[in-house]
Amino acid sequence: MAISVLHINALFVRLLPKLELGKLRFPLWLQRGLATLGLLAISPLLLLTALAIRIESPGAVIYTQIRVGVNGRRFRIYKFRSMRCPNDPKYPPAEALQSDREGICQKMYRDPRITRVGAIIRKLSIDELPQLFNVVLGDMALIGPRPALEREVAQYQMRAMERLDAMPGLTGLWQVSGRADTTFDEQIDLDLRYVRGQSLWLDMKILCLTVPAVLFGKGAY
């Protein structure tokens, strides 16, 4: 007897509660495997980006920085360099720079240190792609709160410390909810919402929302 689409849908609806997607997690070993495949797939883009950075301005192609991960563990994060090197004569002195945002997380919407290539790769989030190496190394996950700077964590109130209960991610709930256009308090609210409600379903939703967030570049500076 032929099985109709309606029969298949009805069967799926009956099985869905038993799958309990809300109680499952996206296994870290699977995320590390996907990150490895992703690095192989986008290797031409990584090479072209590195070449463009090197041609435009002198200095290292990859920028590293110490960030704070799960349970306060420090690790070195990898990014494509999007700014001029400090020894570049066009690099403005630190005292001449001022954040456009109040609060712990500092941000300049028209940062004069950013190169032309840097502005493009920031807008498209290409500068973050080397963090797939962090996922492979086990420092980060594909989805989670963004890893904070040490000086930011040093200023956290008790409530904000809860965001360190989850593995930091390449993308997360606040990245698909406005990114730099959100305030620090809004970022904490979104991160805590993720930490307290982690599930396979939420991870899948964030991954799907990441694609349009990157393509439209909203909140990326």
- CB-CB contact of 122 with 63 (8 Å): no
Look at residue 138 and tell me if it is in a domain.
Answer: yes
Look at residue 130 and tell me if it is in a domain.
Answer: yes
The better pLDDT of the pair 147, 13 is held by: 147
Look at residue 18 and tell me if it is in a domain.
Answer: no
Look at residue 7 and tell me if it is in a domain.
Answer: no
pTM over 0.85: no
**pLDDT at 26 (0 to 100):** 76
Look at residue 174 and tell me if it is in a domain.
Answer: yes
DSSP letter at 63 equals E
pLDDT of 16 over the 90 cut: no
Query: Which tens digit of pLDDT belongs to each residue from 40-54?
Result: 999 999 999 999 999
Question: Using alpha carbons only, what angle is made at residue 58 by residues 120 and 214, rounded to the nearest 5 degrees?
Answer: 15
Q: How many domains does the chain have?
A: 1
Look at residue 11 and tell me if it is in a domain.
Answer: no
Query: Which tens digit of pLDDT belongs to each residue from 67-97?
Result: 999 999 999 999 999 988 766 666 666 555 5
Report the alpha-carbon distance of residue 28 to residue 18 in Å, rounded: 23
Look at residue 9 and tell me if it is in a domain.
Answer: no
DSSP for 141-186, written as a single string: EEESPPPEEHHHHTT--HHHHGGGGS--EEE-TTTTTTGGGS-HHH
Give the domain range for residue 163: 23-216
Query: Which tens digit of pLDDT belongs to each residue from 164-179?
Result: 999 999 999 888 887 6
Q: Which tokens sit at 200?
A: 């396979």
Query: Which tens digit of pLDDT belongs to each residue from 132-163?
Result: 999 999 999 999 999 999 988 999 989 999 99
Look at residue 112 and tell me if it is in a domain.
Answer: yes
